[in-house]
Structure 1
Amino acid sequence: MRTPAIVGLILASLLLCFSVAADAAINLSSTRVVLAAPAKEGSLQLQNSSQEEFMLQAWVEENAAGEVPFAVTPSLERLRSGEKKTLRILYYGEGLPTDKESVFWLNVQEVPQKTKVENVLQIAVRQRLKLFYRPAGLPGRAEDAARELKWRLSGKGLEVYNPSHFHVSFGSVVVRKGSETYSAAIDMVAPGSTFAAELPGLVEDVRSGDLKVEFQVIGGFGGMAKYDSTISG
């Protein structure tokens, strides 16, 4: 038997001896955080729902411009079984646009304590959720932004334009043509921006009048709301 084959068998055998626990033990009170000015602070409730003790790490990622105008406290904390904590997100008070919403990623990572049991592979599980900073005095309302979206066909794809000052996050986007449906992979569209997605299987000569778009939007508290709209050519 060749050496690579022997090594492969050994690795496979070792992997079978390990148990992997990758489910999140720390429950979060929300799937997103909205920090609305003039408030300078937002919060997120955490609870360790497992029987084990974990070390909690939390931080905000840089945006495309390399900015992180937030501090998270506690950024490193021990969380015992069943214990609850409040994560505070503090805004420095400057550096972000005042005419539109901004978005960042908040990370919550749980690091398990060293186990006394042998042959157990431990994994640090990280949860990522969107952190929105909403300036004061923006025109319109965030909950109305989904109704203002403009949809159009672009070749064999779908474009959505967001004329509002707020981000719109999607749970699903489906284009319907009679009994046929086509899914579009659109996660979020930023204020004043256009996002384009492919529609696999859609024929090139289809007319926009034959189509409508049905979509679900994720609200500020993580709930889903259903909408539908016409599609222009």
Structure 2
Amino acid sequence: MLGLTISANARAEISFGGFTRFIFDGEQQSLMVTLINEDPQPALVQSLLQWGDGDPNRDLPMVVNKPLLLIPAQGRASITLFYQGTGLPTDRESFLLLRVMQVPQKPKEENSMQIALQHNMKLIFRPKLPGSLEDAVEKLRWAPSQAAPGSYQARNDTPYYLTLTEVGLRDRTGIPCGNSIEHLMIAPFSSYDLIVPGCSQAAGQISYQFISDSGIAHARQRDL
């Protein structure tokens, strides 16, 4: 019977200087992203872009200048994302993913398996828009929904994507109702029906954390 060894190289060795997302300023033609190799061995990485919803049938008007890149041991290198200037809306943000995969080295031992680690980084293309992301969060509206008993609808009437975490309902005394939703993203000019598992009664408050451009969570609470 053959044994199978999982290589110790299957760990996150590529980082992004603390960034968890990238904002592409629509008034610029390119965005530089720095990749850091924290391993004592050189790292070969593959980078590609895709739509945030994973749709493979739409043309993507953006490219990566170095889809395959060798980063020195404990060093850093950069890739640049280029936008062709047309193809994305000018009245709202667009959501894409920057996928960076570390290509595993050839196994040194027989019957061993290398695991390719992949980072899926949020990329928001932001044309020149009125207001700010912080303004958009304050304009987020909640109302009872017909989707399910005890559900609520979030209405985003702004051109910004809103990322919320730890979304939970509470009764009027502040006691949590059901389980919180770990993560949700509300697209521009859209609504989202919030159904909280284990909560089927009317709530008095909703609490959540709003994620800023820098990836920092900011607590918010609203009366319903």
TM-score, reference length from structure 2: 0.87
Structure-1 residue corresponding to 2:133: 142
Structure-2 residue corresponding to 1:88: 80
Change (3 A) 1:180 1:150: same
Give the CA deviation at 1:213.
1.0
After TM superposition, list the pairs within 5 Å mapping 1:50-61 onto structure 2.
50-61=39-50
Q: Report the secondary structure of 2:3's partner residue.
A: helix
1:165 aligns with 2:159: yes
Change (3 A) 1:82 1:97: same
Q: In the alignment, is the contact (CA less than 8 A) between 1:100 and 1:166 conserved in 2? A: yes
Structure-2 residue corresponding to 1:175: 169
Give the CA deviation at 1:172.
2.0
- Structure 1, residues 50-98: CA drift from partner, whole Å, max 9, x if none? 1222211001014546131111121101122111011211111001111
Structure-2 residue corresponding to 1:27: 15
Give the CA deviation at 1:185.
5.0
Q: Which of the residues 165, 178, 196 maps onto 1:199?
A: 196
Q: Distance in 1 between matches of 2:164 and 2:28?
A: 26
Aligned residues: 214
Give the CA deviation at 1:186.
4.3
Aligned-pair identity (%): 29
**Which structure would you say has the larger Rg?**
1
Give the CA deviation at 1:119.
3.7
1:151 aligns with 2:139: no
Give the CA deviation at 1:226.
1.2
Q: In the alignment, is the contact (CA less than 8 A) between 2:45 and 2:70 conserved in 1? A: yes
Q: Distance in 2 between matches of 1:186 and 1:126?
A: 20
Q: Tell me the C-alpha RMSD between the 2 structures.
A: 1.9
Q: Which amino acid aligns with 1:95?
A: G
Q: Distance in 1 between matches of 2:7 and 2:76?
A: 27
- Structure 1, residues 18-77: CA drift from partner, whole Å, max 9, x if none? 445432110112111111121111122111101222211001014546131111121101
Structure-1 residue corresponding to 2:92: 100
Q: Distance in 1 between matches of 2:124 and 2:23?
A: 5
Q: Which amino acid aligns with 2:188?
A: P
Q: In the alignment, is the contact (CA less than 8 A) between 2:66 and 2:80 conserved in 1? A: yes
Q: Distance in 1 between matches of 2:3 and 2:150?
A: 48
1:230 aligns with 2:219: no
Q: Report the secondary structure of 1:184's partner residue.
A: strand
Q: Which runs of 5+ in 2 are unaligned?
A: none
Q: Distance in 1 between matches of 2:216 and 2:157?
A: 22
Q: In the alignment, is the contact (CA less than 8 A) between 1:212 and 1:230 conserved in 2? A: yes
Q: Distance in 1 between matches of 2:140 and 2:223?
A: 10
TM-score, reference length from structure 1: 0.84
Q: Which runs of 5+ in 1 are unaligned?
A: 1-9
